[in-house]
Amino acid sequence: MGFAREDANASVLACGDNPDKCMVWIVSHLEEKQFLSDLNQASIESELSKRAEEKELKAQEHETMKKAKAFTALFTTSYMLSADSSAIKLKAMLSDAIGDVDPDSLLRVALTKLLKLEAQAIKWYKESSKCYLLQVAERLEASFGAHDVLQCCSKISNAATSSCAFVATLHDEERHLSKALFDMPENHGGVPIVFLKADKDMQFSLDDDGFEVVELDLTGDD
């Protein structure tokens, strides 16, 4: 059996000039190298398989979203579309009229982004995000008004140049929620401040945080 000079030299350094010990060391060393190589290859194949599955799932999700006739059926955990939401017109549009809108339209893409962000917020912060998300729905409802989705929003291709108040609000809400989730400029206990401020029952004060507010007399007596 032939061995690489590198392995032979390494065995001598490890075991001295004993041929039998060197032989055992080399065989053990080669088996370990092969094991690590196989393990690494398996890890690579597993990661590639995982990425392929994720890519396939995203493609399936994208196709499902494009074919969806009612968003209310897709986002079942949504607070904005729940019974607690007062956004009646918004919910009606997302369960009916949205099905007639071009899947690649700015409106559907923007709504999809916002509802996916909401799903992420609920996954991460659960009830802590509820009041904020219900307020988002209220703001969207207020800007939605009574205009015809098919004749207005669905035809818009650029939110920046659009005069549609609903599309503008939708774009702003998506941007604000994304900032709260991923930039988190302010947070308390790991929860975005905007979520806490939206919930009157969860608003905190210095006293709640264990700080003592002390009033100082700065007039002094000379």
pLDDT of residue 130: 93
pLDDT of residue 73: 80
Any idea of the CA torsion for 181, 182, 187, 193, to the nearest 10 degrees? -40
pLDDT of residue 4: 78
Task: Identify whether the C-beta of residue 11 lies closer than 8 Å to the C-beta of residue 22.
Answer: yes
Q: Where are the beta strands (DSSP E) in 94-173?
A: none
pLDDT of residue 142: 92
Which residue, among 34, 173, 27, 202, has the nearest Cα to 90 in the 3D structure? 173
pLDDT-flagged residues of the chain (< 50): 205-207, 210-216, 218
pLDDT of residue 34: 86
